[in-house]
């Protein structure tokens, strides 16, 4: 699929299916990143902390949230970055998260406006209780239609 900048419409929404976070997910992420903080790994220590149980790494939830929305490959768009990332609530082992996205801004690319535009997509991640656990802006660089 090739969706050029001109084809993106403000207000377009999409949502993923759910994904349940497992202990294996947390252990694998810790091994990949080296983040073995007790908040993620030590069940007994976590019982003495504010959440009372282990929490998933915020960086893991961000990665999963992005991947959950990556259904179709758009050959004309590239991930340009992530802005205003906020870890709003904890994600625990056994929680099921869902990603929701909405296009809210289109603008020219600052360095190559004749070739590319920028599309901002607000992403909100919720748990099975409908609570927001993560919010961020996914920024895309998108090819313009060649004139």
* Digit-coded pLDDT (tens) for 83-95: 999 999 999 999 9
pLDDT at 1: 82
Spatial CB neighbours of 85, under 8 Å, sequence gap ≥ 6 = 62, 134, 135, 136
CATH code for the domain in which residue 125 is found = 3.10.129.10
pLDDT, average across residues 115-140: 97
- Domain count for the chain, please give it: 1
- Interacting residues of 110 by C-beta distance below 8 A, sequence separation 6+: none
| Structural domain boundaries enclosing 129 | 5-143
């Amino acid at each position: 699929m090739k969706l050029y900048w001109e084809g993106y419409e403000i207000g377009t929404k999409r949502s993923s299916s759910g994904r349940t976070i497992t202990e294996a997910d947390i252990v694998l992420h810790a091994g990949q990143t080296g983040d073995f903080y007790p908040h993620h790994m030590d069940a007994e220590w976590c019982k003495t902390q504010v959440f009372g149980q282990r929490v998933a790494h915020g960086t893991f939830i961000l990665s999963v949230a992005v991947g959950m929305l990556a259904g179709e490959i758009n050959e004309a768009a590239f991930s340009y970055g992530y802005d205003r990332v906020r870890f709003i609530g904890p994600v625990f082992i056994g929680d099921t998260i869902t990603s929701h996205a909405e296009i809210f801004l289109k603008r020219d690319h600052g360095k190559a406006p004749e070739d590319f535009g920028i599309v901002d997509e607000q992403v909100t991640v919720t748990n099975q209780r409908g609570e927001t656990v993560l919010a961020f802006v996914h920024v895309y660089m998108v090819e313009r239609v060649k004139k």
